[in-house]
Amino acid sequence: MERFIRYFLGGLMILSLVLAAVFMIVPTYMDQLTALGFTPEEMRIWVYRVVVPTYFLTIAYFSYRYLSGKNPTSTVWPILIVTFFFLITQIVGFIFFYFHWIQIVYFLVTAGSFLVLREAHNRRKKDIFGGSL
């Protein structure tokens, strides 16, 4: 499982770096992913209703953690929180957005990622704080 977690996080890092570079160079690239079944307009709405709120919820959460004097418990914790909020905004998106089969695929990938990241966080937390937690 440790090897799987390392490969998963390595793949996530590479994907994130590539997507960050692509979106800095071609910011409208997300609109061009219509092969997934969304029209460009639907894709823009999905980004505004799911991806952007994830960003702001994450900022609000970590601002709260700072103001309450609580630090992240492991280096994986921030990634886990972003994934958790992405999962939440996708669930809300099921209610307030045009329903399409790709939403289920995104949701399942995000839920699987959340479970792997939760396991990685728990392992790292045990390394940091010992086995008593």
Q: Is the pLDDT of residue 35 over 70?
A: no
Q: Do residues 15 and 47 touch, judged by C-beta distance below 8 A? A: no
Every domain of the chain and the residues it spans? 31-129
Whether 33 shows a pLDDT value over 70: the answer reads no
Strand, coil or helix: what is 99? Answer: coil
> In one letter, which amino acid is 55?
Y
Q: What is the pLDDT of residues 67-116, one digit of tens each?
A: 888 877 777 888 999 999 999 998 988 888 777 777 888 899 999 999 99
Task: Give me the pLDDT at residue 100, please.
Answer: 74
pLDDT score, position 69? 85
**CB count, 10 Å around CB of 84?**
18
**pLDDT surpassing 60 at residue 10:** yes
Rounded to a whole number, what is the largest CA-CA distance in the chain? 51
Q: pLDDT higher for 86 or 44?
A: 86
So what's the pLDDT on residue 31?
66
